[in-house]
Amino acid sequence: MSGRIVGLIWTVLAIAAILFAWLGQPLAQSENWVAPLVGLVCLMTLFDAADSRQRYRRAFGLIPRWLRARPILYWTVLLIVIFGGLALWIVPYQPTNGRPLASIEYAYLLCWLWVLIYLLYYDSNAAQTRAMGVSLAKNKLTGVLITITTLVVLFTLGEAYLRLFYITTDGYGFTAMNYHWYKNFYWGHYNSVGFRDNEPDPAATTRIAVLGDSFAMGHGINNLDDTFPQILERELGAGVDVNVIAQSGWDSDVELDQLNRYPYPPDIVVLSYYLNDIDYLLQNTATNPDSRFSFPEQPALRWFILNFFVPNYVYYNLLQFTSTTRTSNHLGDLVNAHLDDALWSQQAQRLYEIVVWADDHDARLIVLLWPHITGVDESQPAVERVRDFFNEQGVTVVDMSDPLRQSGSPQLVVNRFDSHPGLEAQRLAAEFLTVAVQAGEP
C-alpha cells in the first residue's frame, strides 16, 4: 500500500466493515454474499499490515498492476466497480431520504470503498501513473470512455439528487418516488387503531372523526402536523380530539364500514369528499380513469424503470403526467361519472347511508368538498351535484372551490405532478372547517 494515510484509511475501512457486519441484524438469505466479501477484505488487510517484509505485496498487487499496464481496460474496470458496485447496493436496498441505512449496507459500502482504494492505490507508483497517462492520450478509445464516464456520472448525480431531494408523491401513485414516500412517511407510521394519526385521546370532551381517503390522510405531506385534521385540532383547542379514519385509495364504498369499526364514537363526522371517491364504480370499465396511464411492457425496460429513479422520473413524470390529454381526460372521466344518472344514483345511495348513520348516532355531519385543485372550474358540474345533494339533506358543506380559486398559491398542491392538497390547501381546509365546526348546526 503506497502512502501512510491511504494505508490508514484502508485499515480503518476494513475494521469498520467488520464492526457493522458484526453489530447488524442477522443476514437475510439474499445478503449472505456480503459476509465473504467482508471476510476477504479483512484477511487481505490483516496480511498486508503484518507483511513487514512485503512478501505478499507482489501477489496482492498482481491484479491492479496487470490492469494499470492496460489503461483502457483499467479505466473500464474502474467504471464497472464504481457504478456496478453502487447498483448492487441501490437495487436491493433502494436507499432514499427518510430511510435509515441498515448496518449491512454500511458494511457493504465500506468494503466497496476498500476495493476502490485497492484498485487505485495498491502497489502503485508515479512512473506507472505517468505511463498510463501517455498511453491514454494516444488511444482512440479514450474519447469514448470520457463520453461514457460523463454520462454515467450525470446519471449517478441525477439518481442521488432524486433520492435525496425528491421523495414525494405523484397524483396517481405510479412512480418510484411515490412508492418510497409511502414507505418512508406513511406505512409503519400508523397509530394503535391503524391510521396515520396521533393516538386518540380517551378523555376528549368533543371527538371529531375525519373520514376520507388520501386527501384526509395527508398524501404527499411529510409532516403529519401540517395536515388539515391536525391543524383543525390545534385551532379548536383543549378538549377536542380530531381522529383520522382515512386510507389512501379508499372510495365511498368502504368508508361507512370503517366508521362503524372505529372504537371511539365521534360527536362530529367530517366527510372529506373528492371526485375520485366514485372510482369504485368505474373499475374494470372503459371509463376507468387509471387506464389513461400506461406501464412499460418490455421486461428489461420495466426492471430499469422500476429500480432507478432517473428513468422512472423521465418515463412517468415527463412522458405520462405532462400529457394534457391524459390528465384532462382523467378529470373528465370523474366529472362525467357524477353526471351519469345511473352511476350517480348508486353513489348517492352510499352517501345517504353516511347521512343516516350520523342521524342514528346523534353525530353532526360536515362535508369537506374538494374540487380538482388544478381544475377547479372544470370540476364544478360534479362539485355542484355533490353539494346540492348534501344541502338537500340539511348537511353543512364546506366547498373548497372558492377558497382554492382565490388563493392562487403554488403551495395549493403537493407538487407539479401531484394535485393533492399541498401545505396551503391543508391550511385553508382547516381554517374553513374550524368556522363550520364552531358555527354549530346550520
Q: What is the 3-state secondary structure (H, E, C) of the chain?
A: CCCHHHHHHHHHHHHHHHHHHHHCCCCCHHHCCHHHHHHHHHHHHHHHHHCCCCCCHHHHCHHHHHHHCCHHHHHHHHHHHHHHHHHHHHHHHCCCCCCCCCHHHHHHHHHHHHHHHHHHHCCCCHHHHHHHHHHHHHCCHHHHHHHHHHHHHHHHHHHHHHHHHCCCCCCCCCCHHHHHHHHHHCCCCCCCCCCCCCCCCCCCCEEEEEEECHHHHCCCCCCHHHCHHHHHHHHHCCCEEEEEEECCCCCHHHHHHHHHHCCCCCCEEEEEEEHHHHHHHCCCCCCCHHHHCCCCCCHHHHHHHHHCHHHHHHHHHHHHHCCHHHHHHHHHHHHHHHHCHHHHHHHHHHHHHHHHHHHHCCCEEEEEEECCHHHHHHHHHHHHHHHHHHHHCCCEEEECHHHHHHHCCHHHEEECCEEEECHHHHHHHHHHHHHHHHHCCC
- Residue 115 and residue 85 in contact, taking contact as beta carbons nearer than 8 Å: yes
pLDDT at 135 over 50: yes
Per-residue model confidence (pLDDT) at position 129: 87
Residue 39 pLDDT: 84
Task: Domains for the chain: give ranges and CATH numbers.
Answer: 4-165 (no CATH), 192-291+320-439 (3.40.50.1110)
- For residue 291, what pLDDT is reported? 56
Over residues 267-323, the pLDDT tens digits come to 999 999 999 999 999 886 655 555 555 667 888 988 998 899 999 988 887 766 565
* Among 176, 280, 275, 189, CA closest to 227: 189
pLDDT-above-90 percentage for the chain: 64
Q: Report residue 23 as a C-alpha cell.
A: 453489530
pLDDT in tens, 63-116: 888 999 999 999 999 999 999 999 999 999 999 988 889 888 999 999 999 999
Per-residue pLDDT of 64-79, as tens digits, reads 889 999 999 999 999 9
> Residue 442 has what pLDDT?
44
Q: pLDDT tens for residues 230-268?
A: 999 999 999 999 999 999 999 999 999 999 999 999 999
Higher-scoring residue by pLDDT: 281, 54:
281
| Sheet containing 206-212, strands listed edge to edge, beginning at the edge strand earlier in sequence | 240-246, 206-212, 268-274, 364-370, 396-399
CB 44 within 8 A of CB 11: no
The confidence band for 188, taking pLDDT boundaries of 50, 70 and 90, is confident
Q: Can you tell me the distance from the alpha carbon of 1 to that of 117, in angstroms, rounded to the nearest whole number?
A: 9
What pTM does this model have?
A: 0.82
pLDDT at 45 over 50: yes
Model pLDDT, residue 143:
93
Q: Is the confidence at residue 374, as pLDDT, over 80?
A: yes
* Cα 437 to Cα 429: distance, rounded to the nearest angstrom: 12
Cβ-count burial of 238 within 10 angstroms (0-12 exposed, 13-18 middle, 19+ buried)? exposed
pLDDT at 23: 77
Average pLDDT over residues 374-392: 97
Contact 326, 293 (CB under 8 A): yes
What is the overall mean pLDDT for the chain? Answer: 89
